[in-house]
Amino acid sequence: MSQRVLTTESGAPVADNQNSASAGIGGPLLLQDQHLIEKLARFNRERIPERVVHARGSGAYGYFEVTDDVTGFTHTDFLSTVGRRTEVFLRFSTVADSLGGADAVRDPRGFAVKFYTEEGNYDLVGNNTPVFFVKDPIKFPDFIHSRKRDPPPLPERAWEVPPSGRQEPDSVWDFWAHSPEATHQVTWLMGDRGIPASYRHMNGYGSHTYQWTNAEGEAFFVKYHFKTNQGVRSLSAEQAAELAGKDPNSHQTDLFQAIERGVHPSWTLYVQIMPAAEAADYRFNSFDLTKVWPHRDHPLRRVGRLVLDRNPDNVFAEVEQAAFSPNNFVPGIGPSPDKMLQGRLFAYPDAHRYRLGVNHTLPAVNAPRAATARNYGRDGLMAVNRQGRYAKNYEPNSYDGPAETGRPLSAPLAVTGHKGAHEAPPHTKDDDFSQAGELYRLMPAEERRRLVANIAGSLSQVSRDDVIEKNLAHFHAADPEYGRRVAEAVRDLRED
């Protein structure tokens, strides 16, 4: 029987569902990619009214203080002076579960920071892991669908208890079986750091590659690392199950109570810096979100300290309505060709326009601190400010309205080639398994044992042998011992 053809919602056949269309190989993504835009826009509108991802969140205010000179790499104003402080709002979250889920679950954690700078808001939207499951945004809705609570089973499948309304291991592992690039992040997630003991006791990462530009116009690619000053602490699966039963809001409770009693959590920000010219010939794709930059190649450079010292007064107004957009840049900081980042530049503000309305930047938690935003946007849902009763709302005009500066926020990025859906340009070590194997071998023996047990406990519940075998092959490709131990553990559990 011939396979059915995947189509867009207008019925046109989809030529490539693995790679977004870009301007040349490795270039920025194209707005003309109907399939990508359609997938992301529909995905953002699948839940009302909570966030489709990162729904369960906690937040707090604080400040970021510059401790080290980085002016040789970026001319951004809020990083220009040692000792300078900038107000911040940080929102923590789980990724896959709903607003009513528990905090102590195995899931990546969102780590989103809004810097209220003198040049406008700068949003750094990351996670507590330096990598992710997929490298192209066209696969992101599919990945999240595989992690969401499952619809009723197909009629021909026999279940003792129908899995309707729960996260389904068959779906989770089937997606990973067809996505070998996820092996690195799966190893992170199923390891000890998959369940942080609290939000205070985990690191945060920008995860993506970003661009910095200095005063001379030189471009650098950077990765952000927020290292917790409280020390990294995690929960075992057994500890997490007990804690989630006692207090589903455990991490929010911990964060709120710590700040209220004057124990202000803090993180030290480090960056890895790569001169832009090095990226093309680096041994793997510098813009691949499934990979890290080894510290021996690009060591950590300290930038400053982030401190949380004030709880929100109204959780709904400030935490639930907080809107972070990775395209909120300030002069000296900009995007890279990281495909996942490029997709998020559209997806995040589009989600806010759907969920909170076109005026989502007006609530206090999202509004710039330095000055009222000056643009020609008018009206729309919840237009609560005056929005210029006598001002012209078009540009250019002859009435002294706000005008463009002519100064780009970041350095230009050269692109070549033909438009179309391209795989990323090949590099010498662009495989999906090496870094997962390196991470496994870095783990102490007891952590390896827990990692294997965590994977086997979930993978053994999968009903299809071929899906299990595909996943075992990924672990074996990462490290033969890793694959063998998981296979043995899965076999033992399935025989019981």
Note if 471 is an active site residue. Answer: no
Round to whole Å and give the CA distance between 190 and 182: 12
Q: How far is Cα 236 from Cα 216, in angstroms, rounded to an integer?
A: 49
CA distance 124 to 324: 8
Burial of 168: CB neighbours in 10 Å, binned 0-12, 13-18, 19+: buried
- Residue labelled with tokens 């086997």: 456
**Is 178 considered catalytic here?**
no
3-class SS letters over the chain: CCCCCCECCCCCECCCCCCCEEECCCCCECCCCHHHHHHHHHHHCCCCCCCCCCCCEEEEEEEEEECCCCCCCCCCHHHCCCCCEEEEEEEEEECCCCCCCCCCCCCCEEEEEEEEECCEEEEEEEECCCCCCCCCHHHHHHHHHHHCECCCCCCCCCCCCCCCCCECHHHHHHHHHCCHHHHHHHHHHHCHHHCECCCCCCCEECCCCEEEECCCCCEEEEEEEEEECCCCCECCHHHHHHHHHHCCCHHHHHHHHHHHCCCCCEEEEEEEEEEHHHHHHCCCCCCCCCCCCCCCCCCCEEEEEEEEEECCCCHHHHHHCCCCCCCCCCCCEEECCCHHHHHHHHHHHHHHHHHCCCCCCCCCCCCCCCCCCCCCCCCCCCCCCCCCCCCCCCCCCCCCCCCCCCCCCCCCCCCCCCEEECCCCCCCCCCCCHHHHHHHHHCCHHHHHHHHHHHHHHHCCCCCHHHHHHHHHHHHHHCHHHHHHHHHHHHHHHHC
Catalytic residue chosen out of the listed positions 19, 44, 121, 127: 127
Active-site residue, from 35, 54, 184, 352: 54
Write out the catalytic residue numbers. 54, 127
